[in-house]
Structure 1
Amino acid sequence: MDDPFEAFYRQHIGPVTRFVARRVDDPHLAADLTADVFVAVIESAHTYRPDRGSRTAWLYGVAHHVVAAEHRRARRETTATRRVAGRRLLDPADVARIEERIDAEASARRVYRALSAIPDGTRRLLELVAVDGLPVADAAAALGMSPIAARVRLHRARHRLRELLTDDIPLGGTTHEYA
């Protein structure tokens, strides 16, 4: 047996298999992960530093990373499966209805994009007045500002929204020219 890796493999295959088997309950997965550990050892052998610990400690570190990566992958897969579980696939009629809804809501999306260009405090004021129906004085009090400042902000916000909602001004940027 002249190959140093083969000797290393034969010496450590049993302990690594036991290490993996204690962490997963599927024998096929345990075999795959054990093989993955030794593939990772080959690929990262150049990173082994004797001054940081023994080869065995390094090997167990590699094994730990391989098993941890598998657990992360399995969690992502489980999460993705849960998201789609119980959902049926869309048929062409469903897709057509959704496309119609998306088209119908285009103007609302445009308004929301325009609102995102308004500074947060002013946007909250505008929502309290325009959406929630509060009088300007009450909205100003709720946000801790004077009614006069609220009126000025509302005037500027409405003017800015009108500008943003015209076709010649793109809604991509967020310019906060007033507070």
Structure 2
Amino acid sequence: MTELETAPRAPEHFTAVFDRHYRDIYAYVARRLGPDLAEDVASETFLTAFDRRQSYDPARGDARPWLFGIASNLVARHVRAESRRYKALARAGGREPRETEFHADAIAGRLDAAAVRGRLATALAGLPEPVRAVLLLVAWAGLSQQEAAEALGIPAGTARSRLHRARQEMRQALGAEIEMDE
């Protein structure tokens, strides 16, 4: 029995779905929209999923791609804020906002990344949202191409071509400084 099969008949079972996937959804949304919106959008993802739980097809199995699809749709509503964030990062030369600078543990790892972060933010801001959504579901949420396609409700071939396009544009924007796995 899949994790959502019993949820329509017994809503209290939805708690297990929330417990299993909330952190991943929150982390993905935080990376897309920033920490200020992440909790609200992640919570809205689960409210939407709860409201739509009876329409979930148990044959799909794992609810993870379905939840990331809901989250991606909600993120798309906030795409202007996301674009502003990438543009601000690009203008700041890749420097993170001050509120995160006090984390001494992270500073060493950020030194190398800071050199390319501004260009990365600019390149991400320049991608059309459908292309960016596939890339970030794969890169940040850890979904496979197939799962990203399911999450976005698009054919697998479309997800594959969008991911290929996104990777090409990232390589071009960043030059030879990074290697992205195909």
TM-score clears 0.5: no
TM-score by length of 2: 0.36
Which structure's CA Rg is the greater one? Answer: 1
